[in-house]
Every structure is written in C-alpha cells, then in structure tokens.
C-alpha cells in the first residue's frame, strides 16, 4: 500500500506496529486456536480487531471516502476489542484513532473526538475493572491519546504550511513569468518607437530626396534613381511592418501556466496547452492565469482530489477555452465562494463566461470561455 500524502509514513508505520502488537498480545493471552473461534467472546474480539485494521487501512488510503465514517467504525471496533480482550493492551488502539483525527477533523472536533474516546473507554473499563483500576487505565491511555493527537496535529500543520508555501511559490513563479513577458513587451515597444522615430524618419527623408532627384535627373542615371526610389519605399514599408508586429507582439501563456501547475503538493495536475500558445492582450493572459490559480486552490482546499486535468485550447471562433475537472469527492450542490464569483465577474467584464458543474462521475468540472483578438497556438 502507498503511504498517503496526508498521513506521514512514520505515523503510518507506528500505527500499524501498534495494531500488530495489540493483536499479538491478544492472541497470546487467549491462546487462540481454530477451536476457540466457536467461543462467542473470542469471535467478537477477532472480528472487531480485524474490522479495526480494515477500517484503518481504508482510511489512510488515497481516495478513500468518507474518512469520518471510517474513523467512527474504528472507534466502535476499538471499544469492542477493549471490552472483549484480556491482555490489557487493547486501549493502545485508541491512540491510532487520535493520531488520525487531526488529519480529517478541525482542532475543536479533534478535541471533542478524543474526549469522547476517553469517556467511552472509561465507561468500558468501569464495567470490566474496579473503579480505581478503571480510572488508572483510562487516565494512562488518555495521556497517550493527547500525545499522539498533538504529534499528528503538528505534522498536519507542517504539511499545510508546506502546501501553502508551495502554492505561493507557484503563484510567484507564474507572476514572474508574466512580468518577464511584460518586460519583453516593453522592450519591443521601445525598439518599435526607435525604429519609427529614427530609421523611419530617415527613410522617409531619403525617399523624398530621391523623389525630388528623379525630377531633375535625365538620361541613363534616371533609371538608377528610380530603382533607388523603389528600394527606399520597400525599406520604409518593411520598417513599418516590423514596427507594427513589435507593437502587437503576443504574450506566451504556456510557460506561465506551466510554472503555476508544476509540483503542486498533494495534487497531480495534468496541463494541456498547445505548443506556442500566445495571446495579444495582457488582460486575457492575466485572467486565465488567475482562473487556473483559483481552480488549483479550490481543488486543494475542498475537493480532496488527487488528479486535476486542465486544458486550454483556442476555438474556431478566435476565443480561448479553459476546461478543468478533478477526481475529488464532488458535492450534492455547488455553492460558489468569493473566489469563483470574482472570477466569473472578471470573465464577464472581458466579454467571456465562466461555468462550473458536478462532473459525470465525481469531482467538479469548470468551463471558461474568453474572447481574444488573436490566439496563436
């Protein structure tokens, strides 16, 4: 099994070893044989212990849903193991649960869940042992629960911080790519102005002087003057074409999107952008970049997805279409937040549209369309 991204490998191995030790101790104490499985108490212990392991296995697997229900199943199974076991080590299973809770629950919910574990185990111990022994057992495992929950909470906070840092880093790289493209655009405009103001001016003057010379030259030299006049006009036309192309130089969208989607922690982004895709309007490029950024952020925060597919393609109508979908849990209803609402408003201002819906299988699908004066790809 692959260690899941939300569950640290060391915590996973520790939990698996704890579960194994509890099982070995239980088997040794009960001297379990096939004949013992006919005993109701032993059979219940064995089924509960196996169910706990299965629920834990499913809960830490990537893509397993729903995690809270599996956490509840582990809780019930652990209490049954404690009630039917005889080794005294069964309470260690509760630490496995407390180690998972911060991965799926908020800090407050984790505290309430762990408190419920302590109270439930105390109730079971009060049935099995004298009050003082029950309190001692429950208090001992309560300390273990606090330790494992705290360690898991710290690990989860560190993981969230790394993910946020990676998201910010990706945004900065994408913004840097756009900034570099804008700087190149400014340099093209500067060169275009220099060509227009300097070379264009002198070529215009040269063309006028040659035109004047053609009226004063006769004989064989007139043909050479006319050829020079033709060359001057051709050069002037070509300079104007170069100046026009420099002023309308397209922005390369692909590199910025690649920087934004590269190495997103906990999410594999599959980006499809036609090679050499470029747009002429900076506002269009910026809008698409921010849309992809918002899609990645929402997928990480809400979708519990492991794959995200993003396609950006030019349409036959001269527009750009962005299609994104994930393999997350989806939802019964989609309630857009401030990010998607603001993105839709931005697309509308630029003459485009933005729509989102539940995917056919699971996850969320987003389709955006944005007109552009020219998209090359």
> Smallest Cα–Cα separation from 325: which of 274, 263, 269, 247?
269
Q: What mean pLDDT do residues 240-269 have?
A: 71
CA distance 334 to 343: 15
Q: What mean pLDDT do residues 11-28 have?
A: 85
Can you give the pLDDT at residue 350? 87
Phi-psi region of 17 (alpha: psi -120 to 50; beta: other; left: phi over 0): alpha
CA distance 253 to 297: 19
* Residue positions counted in the chain: 377
CA distance 83 to 77: 10
Instruction: Find the range with the poorest average confidence among 6-20, 43-57, 96-110.
Output: 6-20
Phi and psi at 90, nearest 5°, equal -60, -30
Answer yes or no: is pLDDT of 125 > 80. Answer: yes
- DSSP per position, 217-254: --TTHHHHHHHHHHHHHHHHHHHHHHHHHHHTPPEE-H
What are the residue boundaries of the structural domains of the chain, listed by start? 9-163, 190-247, 251-376
CA distance 10 to 354: 43
Question: How many CB atoms neighbour CB 224 within 10 A?
Answer: 10
Q: What mean pLDDT do residues 163-177 have?
A: 74
Can you give the pLDDT at residue 116? 92
Phi-psi region of 130 (alpha: psi -120 to 50; beta: other; left: phi over 0): beta
Q: Fold for domain 251-376?
A: Heat Shock Protein 90 (3.30.565)
Answer yes or no: is pLDDT of 247 > 70. Answer: no
Q: Which two tokens stand for residue 165?
A: 């840092």
Answer yes or no: is pLDDT of 363 > 80. Answer: no
Can you give the pLDDT at residue 49? 92
Phi and psi at 320, nearest 5°, equal -115, 135
**pLDDT above 70: percentage of residues in the chain:** 81
Q: Predicted confidence band at 85 (pLDDT cuts at 50, 70, 90)?
A: confident
215 or 110: which leads in pLDDT: 110
Beta pairing class for 319-326 and 364-371: antiparallel
């Amino acid at each position: 099994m692959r260690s899941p991204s939300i569950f640290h490998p060391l915590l996973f191995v520790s939990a698996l070893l704890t579960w194994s030790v509890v099982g070995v101790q239980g088997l040794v104490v009960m001297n379990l044989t096939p004949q013992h499985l006919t005993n109701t108490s032993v059979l219940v212990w064995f089924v509960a212990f196996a169910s706990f392991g299965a629920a834990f296995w499913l809960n830490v697997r990537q893509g397993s849903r729903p995690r809270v229900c599996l956490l509840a199943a582990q809780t019930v199974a652990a209490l049954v193991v404690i009630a039917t076991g005889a080794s005294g080590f069964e309470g260690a299973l509760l630490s496995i649960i407390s180690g998972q809770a911060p991965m799926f629950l908020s800090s407050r919910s984790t505290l309430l869940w762990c408190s419920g574990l302590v109270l439930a185990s105390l109730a079971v111990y009060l049935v099995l042992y004298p009050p003082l022994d029950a309190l001692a057992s429950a208090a001992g495992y309560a300390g273990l629960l606090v330790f494992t929950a705290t360690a898991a909470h710290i690990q989860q906070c560190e993981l969230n911080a790394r993910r946020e840092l990676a998201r910010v880093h990706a945004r900065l790289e994408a913004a840097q790519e756009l900034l570099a493209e804008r700087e190149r655009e400014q340099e093209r405009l500067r060169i275009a102005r220099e060509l227009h103001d300097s070379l264009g001016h002198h070529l215009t003057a040269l063309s006028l002087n040659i035109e004047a010379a053609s009226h004063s030259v006769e004989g064989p030299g007139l043909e050479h003057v006319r050829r020079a006049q033709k060359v001057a006009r051709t050069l002037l036309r070509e300079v104007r074409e170069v100046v026009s192309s420099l002023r309308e130089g397209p922005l390369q969208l692909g590199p910025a999107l690649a920087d934004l989607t590269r190495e997103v922690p906990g999410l594999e982004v599959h980006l499809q952008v036609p090679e050499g895709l470029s747009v002429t309007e900076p506002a269009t490029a910026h809008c698409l970049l921010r849309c992809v950024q918002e899609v990645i952020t929402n997928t990480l925060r809400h979708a519990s997805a492991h794959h995200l597919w993003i396609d950006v393609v030019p349409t036959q109508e001269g527009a750009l279409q962005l299609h994104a979908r994930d393999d997350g849990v989806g939802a019964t209803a989609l309630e857009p937040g401030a990010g998607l609402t603001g993105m839709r408003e931005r697309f509308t201002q630029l003459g485009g549209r933005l729509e989102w819906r539940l995917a056919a299988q699971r996850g969320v699908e987003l389709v955006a369309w944005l007109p552009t004066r020219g998209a090359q790809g």
